[in-house]
């Protein structure tokens, strides 16, 4: 028998304790134990599915042999590629895009070290190459980051940050300037407002002292009184700035009853107030006016319902010689002053001449009726200002009341005139 030309594997005992002999195209395995959990599991599972264990082992050897012979180099290259990709990913995560600059050189080195003709283990060499490249690129990156020229990516960032800070500082400076300018304007406006407020206070004080604004209300009251006095042959004097014989200036308008026909028979003083007095101050003011102007009757004219002294009422006679009337400064209706004027005039004419034999009972009844009607008329007049419905009916009733008041006053005047005529005869 001729010997086989194929090389024969020497008959020896392997590490598994068995004997493996390669004879031509055959393998003879005897008493070989393979310690591999995965191989044992595969053989066992396939045997449970009906595949003989020898068939499974045979196929495993055939497949493994082909991989070792025909695909060993490719497997190594694939492994290298996977390890390379993993290493590059790690390095790239640490160093960023600087790794890409050395990727081509690294590939050339790996190609030389792990060509298709090489079949030895490559883990240690891959690790060595990756570590060396990582160190090199880390050093290059650190050098780039510490450079003071445009190659340092931080330089551009520093320039941008510096520019942004300068712009922010400039905006802050401009905002501060605008704020300071606004504060300056506000201070000026506040100063002007304080000046206006102080001026208003001075005007208010001056008004009560008889200066410009106060005289305006006084003039308003005096004009209404003077017009009424002229129609009754009386004389009205504006005395707000004139001193009396006693030297004082209390009393804004003094009326001489009958003064246009000769010597007046009585004097009435009107005091104008654009502020609210207390009850005691009102009596002090009116008593002082009568004393300084030698008047028999005093009327306090206030510039609104809110200026009526607390505890007192308008169109009510107090102490037999005092009365309060409202002349609204914003809506100066002289009706109330006209009625009060005629009422006071009639009272003074009755009591001013003892020689006249006047029907005292008639005068008293007419005066009382006039006073009552006068107060009621004034209440209705006020209600007309606040109501919108039924205004025509209220106005008609108001006119009737005014007519009644004037009729009562005319009766008093007629009684006084008749008494005067009888005395003349």
Q: Which of 98, 113, 146 is the last residue of a domain?
A: 146
For the cut 60, the answer to whether the pLDDT of residue 425 exceeds it is yes
Residues 267 and 165 in one domain: no
What per-residue confidence (pLDDT) applies to 75? 52
244 and 132 in one domain? no
Judge whether 48 lies within some domain: no
d(CA 420, CA 355): 9
Whole-number pLDDT of residue 110: 59
Instruction: State whether 216 and 319 are in the same domain.
Output: yes
Output the domain CATH number for residue 321.
3.40.1350
| DSSP per-residue codes, 16-55 | TSSEEEEETTEEEEES-----HHHHHHHHHHHHTT--HHH
Indicate if 221 and 302 belong to the same structural domain: yes
* Residue 40 forms part of a structural domain: no
Do 204 and 120 belong together in one domain? no
258 lies in some domain:
yes
pLDDT of residue 423: 74
What is the reported pLDDT for 265?
A: 86
Check residue 155 and give its pLDDT.
Answer: 63
pLDDT at 200 over 80: no
Sign of CA dihedral 103, 109, 113, 114: positive
Out of 188, 208, 228, pick the residue that ends a domain: 208
For residues 313 and 358, is the Cβ–Cβ distance under 8 A?
no
Q: Does the residue 389 lie in any domain?
A: yes
pLDDT band at 357 (very low <50, low <70, confident <90, very high): low
pLDDT at residue 1 in the model: 42
Confidence of residue 201 (pLDDT cuts 50, 70, 90): low
The CA-based dihedral angle spanning residues 364, 370, 373, 374, taken in that order and rounded to the nearest 10 degrees: -130
Out of 88-92, 143-147, 411-415, pick the least confident.
Answer: 88-92
| Same-domain check for residues 132 and 164 | no
80 and 112 fall within a common domain: yes
Check residues 95 and 237 and name the one with the higher pLDDT: 237
Question: What pLDDT, on a 0 to 100 scale, did the predictor assign at position 89?
Answer: 63
> Is residue 298 very low, low, confident or very high in pLDDT (cuts 50, 70, 90)?
very high
334 in the same domain as 214: yes
If asked whether residues 361 and 335 sit together in one domain, one would say no
Q: Are 259 and 309 part of one and the same domain?
A: yes
- 266 in a domain, yes or no? yes
Structural domain includes residue 66: no
| Residue 98 belongs to domain spanning | 73-146
User: Does 417 reside within a domain?
Assistant: yes
Q: Length of the chain, please?
A: 425
Residue with tokens 């990727």: 103
Higher pLDDT, 128 or 308: 308
Residue 417 has pLDDT above 60, yes or no: yes
What's the pLDDT band for 256 if we cut at 50, 70, 90? Answer: very high
Does 322 lie in the same domain as 420?
no
Q: Which of the residue ranges 63-72, 106-115, 202-211 has the most confident prediction, judged by mean pLDDT?
A: 63-72
In the chain, the number of structural domains is: 5
Tell me which of 126, 146, 166 is where a domain ends: 146
345 belongs to a structural domain: no
Same domain, 222 and 184: no
pLDDT at 163 over 80: no
């Amino acid at each position: 028998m001729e010997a086989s030309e194929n090389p024969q594997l020497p008959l020896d005992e392997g590490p598994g304790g068995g004997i493996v002999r390669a004879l031509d195209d055959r393998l003879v395995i005897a008493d070989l134990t393979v310690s591999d959990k995965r191989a044992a599991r595969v053989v066992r599972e396939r045997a449970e599915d009906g595949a003989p264990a020898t068939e499974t082992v045979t196929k495993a050897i055939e497949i493994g042999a082909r991989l070792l012979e025909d695909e060993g180099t490719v497997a190594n290259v694939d492994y290298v590629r996977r390890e390379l990709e993993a290493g590059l990913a790690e390095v790239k995560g640490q160093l960023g895009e600087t790794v890409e600059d050395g990727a081509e050189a690294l590939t050339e080195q790996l190609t030389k070290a792990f060509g298709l003709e090489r079949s030895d283990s490559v883990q240690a060499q891959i690790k060595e190459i990756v570590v060396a490249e990582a160190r090199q690129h880390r050093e290059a990156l650190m050098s780039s980051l510490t450079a003071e020229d445009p190659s340092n990516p931080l330089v551009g960032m520093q320039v941008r940050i510096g520019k942004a800070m300068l712009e922010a500082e400039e905006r802050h400076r401009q905002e501060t300037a605008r704020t300071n300018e606004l504060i300056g304007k506000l201070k000026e406006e506040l100063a002007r407002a304080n000046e206006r407020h102080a001026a208003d206070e001075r005007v208010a004080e001056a008004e009560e002292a008889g200066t410009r604004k106060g005289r305006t209300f006084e003039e308003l009251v005096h004009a209404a009184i003077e017009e009424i006095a002229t129609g009754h042959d009386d004389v009205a004097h504006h005395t707000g700035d004139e001193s009396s014989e006693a030297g004082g200036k209390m009393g804004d308008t003094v009326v001489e009853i009958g003064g246009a026909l000769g010597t007046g028979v009585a004097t009435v003083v009107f005091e104008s107030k654009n502020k609210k007095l207390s009850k005691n101050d009102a009596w002090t003011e009116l008593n002082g006016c009568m004393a300084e102007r030698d008047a028999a009757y005093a009327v306090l004219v206030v510039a609104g319902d809110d200026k009526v002294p607390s505890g007192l009422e308008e169109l009510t006679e107090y102490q037999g010689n005092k009365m309060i009337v409202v002349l609204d400064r914003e809506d100066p209706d002289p009706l109330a002053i006209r009625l009060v004027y005629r009422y006071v005039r009639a009272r003074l004419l009755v009591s001013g001449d003892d020689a006249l034999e006047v029907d005292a009972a008639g005068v008293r009844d007419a005066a009382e009726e006039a006073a009552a009607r006068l107060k009621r008329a004034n209440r209705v007049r006020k209600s007309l200002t606040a109501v919108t419905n039924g205004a025509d009916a209220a106005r008609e009733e108001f006119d009737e009341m005014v007519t009644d008041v004037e009729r009562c006053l005319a009766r008093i005047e007629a009684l006084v005139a008749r008494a005067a005529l009888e005395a003349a005869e």
